Amino acid sequence: MRALTKVLSGSGPRHPRWLLWARYSASSVVATVVSQVAFALCYWFGTPAIAATLVAWLAGAVPNYVLNRRWTWGRSGQKLPYTMIVIGSAVTAAVVTSVTDHLVQPVGSYAWKTALVTGSYLGTYAVLFIVKFLLFDRLVFARSSRADEPAPARTPVAT
C-alpha cells in the first residue's frame, strides 16, 4: 500500500507503465463493481443469464470507457477496435454465464446458483482483464509514433 501511495503522490518511482497499469486496474475495479452488482441483482430476480450479462455489461461498459478514455490513457481512442473488444468480451461472458447457468440447474439452492453464475461472470472478466489491457494499450489508445515526435526542422532548398 505504501508503494502505491508513493507512486500516486509522485514521491515514488515514476514509471509511466506502472502508473498506466494502476489507473487501468482502478478503472476496471469501478466497472467490475458496477457490473457485478447489476448482474447479481438481475439474476437473483429471475432474469435469464444471457440478459443479466448484457445488462451488467452495459452498466459496466459506460464507466469503464469514460474512465479509460479520460483518466487511464488521457485521450480518445479508436472507437471501432474498442467496440469490437468490449462486444467480444460481452459475448464471451454471455456464453460462459449461459453454460454455467445450464450446468448449475441441478443445484438445489437458488442462492448457490446465483453465487456460481455470478462467479462465472466475474471469472470471465478476470481472465479478460490482461487481454483487454494489451488490446486497449496497443490498438485502441496507442499513440502513433509520428504524432508524438516533433516535426523535423526543414532546411530551405536553394534553387
Let me know if 76 is exposed, middle or buried by CB neighbors in 10 A (0-12, 13-18, 19+).
exposed
- Could you list the mean pLDDT of each consecutive 10-residue stretch along the chain, which spans 159 residues? 50 70 91 93 93 93 87 79 89 94 90 92 92 88 58 53
Q: What is the pLDDT of residue 6?
A: 52
Q: What is the pLDDT of residue 40?
A: 93
CB 53 within 8 A of CB 122: no
Q: What is the pLDDT of residue 145?
A: 52
Q: What is the pLDDT of residue 76?
A: 75
Q: What is the pLDDT of residue 75?
A: 75
Q: What is the pLDDT of residue 13?
A: 52
Q: pTM of the prediction?
A: 0.70
